[in-house]
């Protein structure tokens, strides 16, 4: 995208309809907060500057957005009090600079695609000097949206907020999404002219396209073909709806990369998960952000992989197995009823059913290392910190304490686990 673009993200609202103490834009969607998805949208435009307008929960929202932006600095502006979208951009005017264009996004609209934003910018640019680009949609239920009012020839006239609509205007199917691409100079000139003479007593950004028409400047609209992109999140139910859409996108990306997802309807994979080609994901599996899965692995059914988990090539984890901050080496297996916590397992190792790595002593998490070619018998409990060297075998139900002092290739049984007596006696003889 050409330079000369400033993006303003509006994220100051309280989100009272979420009925949560958490700021609305920090509610999680597929492993990251809502605002992080919008920061990604902004970065897709290769903007010279990204301005974040915050209000409620500013001390939390700003850092979360900056984390999503990575090395790209955000300019954070506080809107207090919150007197509408127009007021939010007025507050941010000093941080906008003097760009060629200004794109306005919303911290609670996570589903907009980069391609749609690029289309909006291209349309505004093509419309000529001083033009305004307005993103519109025709959702199944237009309630809550401002309506696009057009003239007899279909030309754009203005946007009317729903609370200010006449009965005839409420019947209009085309709605305003609040996403705009403004000419930079025109925006800075028009912002002071906004009025709060409306039903809400607020300064509406929606008045600016109407001003452009009055002044004889072009207004171009881009109608979203996929109305799901238009969805804003104002309630917990809408958050759940957005998750379904975003989850489908994530699964599609993995399947396009050669991952076999047997039942997408019962598979949950968060943002940022890496999965190699040829991996088979079975039903009822949940994979969190921060997980890396190699090629040719098998995951599931009923598997829970938490952040920090690494499955190397051809590793297998099965039903009712949970992994957290653990590595399972190439060709290793943990197929049944197992908890792998803070564990590094080598290659070609078998973790038997019901195995638990007891990593927490009530105060601190501890790590365990398991070598290559280890056979861990069913029901084994490994008390961390610990080391199971190469080729070790544990018997069913063994409790391997920190003092076991295991040696490579030996077998350990019992509670607490000790080296198998028969082997010890044979060596002494």
* DSSP letters for 170-200: HT---EEEEEEEEEHHHHHHHGGG----STT
pLDDT at residue number 427? 55
pLDDT at residue number 423: 52
- My answer on whether 73 and 140 are in the same domain is yes
**202 lies in the same domain as 286:** no
369 and 291 in a common domain: yes
Domain final residue pick, 215, 230, 245: 230
Regarding whether 242 and 213 lie in a shared domain, the answer is: no
Task: Choose, from 280, 336, 344, 366, the residue flagged as catalytic.
Answer: 336
**Domain containing residue 15: CATH number:** 3.90.550.10
- Does residue 395 share a domain with residue 250? yes
Are 35 and 150 within one domain? yes
Residue 304 C-alpha from the chain's centroid: 18
Q: Tell me the whole-structure pTM to 2 decimals.
A: 0.92
Tokens describing residue 40: 């990604």
- Residue range of the domain that includes 306: 236-428
Largest CA distance in the chain: 104
CATH of the domain at 334: 2.160.10.10
pLDDT tens, per residue, the chain with 429 residues: 446 999 999 999 888 899 999 999 999 999 999 999 999 999 999 999 999 999 989 999 999 999 999 999 999 999 999 999 999 999 999 999 999 999 999 999 999 999 999 999 999 999 999 999 999 999 888 888 899 999 999 999 999 988 888 989 999 999 999 999 999 999 999 999 999 887 788 898 999 999 999 999 999 999 998 988 989 999 999 999 999 999 999 999 999 999 999 999 999 999 999 999 999 999 999 999 999 999 999 999 999 999 999 999 999 999 999 999 999 999 999 999 999 999 999 999 999 999 999 999 999 999 999 999 999 999 999 999 999 999 999 999 999 998 888 999 999 999 999 998 765 445 544
Residue 265 sits in the same domain as residue 390: yes
Question: For position 3, what pLDDT does the model report?
Answer: 64
Q: Report pLDDT for 429.
A: 47
Total domains in the chain come to: 2
Q: Is 336 a catalytic residue?
A: yes
**How many Cβ atoms sit within 10 Å of the Cβ of residue 364?**
9
Same domain, 40 and 112: yes
Asked if omega into 416 is within 30° of 0 (cis), the reply is yes
The residue out of 175, 208, 230 marking a domain boundary is: 230
* The dihedral formed by the CA atoms of 253, 258, 263 and 264, expressed in degrees to the nearest 10: 0
Residues 63 and 197 reside in one and the same domain? yes
Q: 154 and 84 in one domain?
A: yes
95, 126, 164, 337, 366 from 51: Cα distances, Å: 7, 25, 30, 48, 42
* Domain shared by 194 and 328, yes or no: no
DSSP state for residue 422 in the 8-state scheme: H
pLDDT of residue 317: 98
Query: Do 89 and 218 share a domain, yes or no?
Result: yes
Query: Where does a domain end: 174, 205, 230?
Result: 230
Closest by CA position to 113, among listed 227, 271, 23: 227
């Amino acid at each position: 995208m050409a330079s000369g673009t400033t993006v303003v993200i509006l994220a100051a609202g309280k989100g009272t309809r979420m009925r949560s103490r958490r700021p609305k834009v920090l509610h999680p969607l597929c492993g990251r907060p809502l605002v992080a998805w919008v920061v990604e949208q902004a970065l897709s435009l290769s903007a010279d500057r990204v301005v974040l307008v915050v209000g409620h929960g500013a001390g939390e929202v700003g850092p979360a957005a900056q984390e999503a932006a990575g090395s790209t600095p955000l300019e954070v502006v506080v809107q207090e009090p919150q007197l509408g979208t127009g007021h939010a951009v007025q507050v941010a005017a000093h941080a906008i600079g003097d760009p060629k264009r200004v794109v306005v996004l919303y911290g609670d609209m996570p589903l907009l695609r980069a391609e749609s934003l690029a289309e909006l910018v291209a349309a505004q640019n093509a419309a000529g000097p001083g033009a305004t680009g307005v993103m519109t949609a025709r959702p199944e239920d237009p309630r809550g949206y401002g309506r696009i009012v057009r003239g007899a020839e279909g030309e754009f006239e203005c946007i009317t907020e729903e609370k200010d609509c006449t009965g005839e205007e409420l019947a209009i199917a085309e709605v305003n999404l609040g996403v705009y691409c403004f000419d930079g100079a025109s925006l800075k000139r028009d912002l002071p002219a906004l009025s709060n003479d409306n039903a809400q007593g607020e300064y509406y950004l929606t008045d600016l396209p109407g001003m452009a028409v009055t002044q004889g400047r072009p207004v171009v609209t881009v109608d979203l073909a996929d109305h799901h992109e238009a969805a804003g999140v104002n309630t917990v139910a809408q958050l759940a709806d957005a998750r379904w859409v975003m989850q489908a996108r994530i699964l599609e990306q993995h399947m396009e990369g050669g991952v076999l997802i047997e039942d997408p309807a019962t598979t949950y994979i968060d943002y940022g998960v890496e999965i190699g080609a040829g991996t088979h994901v079975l039903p009822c599996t949940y994979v969190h952000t921060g997980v890396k899965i190699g090629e040719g692995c098998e995951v599931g059914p009923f598997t829970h992989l938490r952040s920090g988990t690494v499955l190397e090539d051809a590793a297998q984890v099965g039903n009712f197995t949970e992994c957290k901050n653990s590595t399972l080496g190439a060709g290793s297996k943990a197929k049944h009823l197992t908890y792998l916590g803070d564990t590094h397992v080598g290659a070609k190792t078998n973790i038997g059913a019901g195995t638990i790595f007891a990593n927490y002593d009530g105060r601190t998490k501890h790590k365990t290392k398991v070598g290559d070619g280890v056979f861990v018998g069913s029901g084994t409990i490994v008390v961390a910190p610990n080391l199971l060297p190469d080729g070790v075998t544990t018997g069913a139900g063994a409790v391997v304490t920190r003092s076991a002092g295991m040696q490579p290739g030996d077998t350990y049984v019992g509670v607490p686990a000790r080296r198998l007596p028969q082997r010890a006696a044979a060596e002494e003889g």
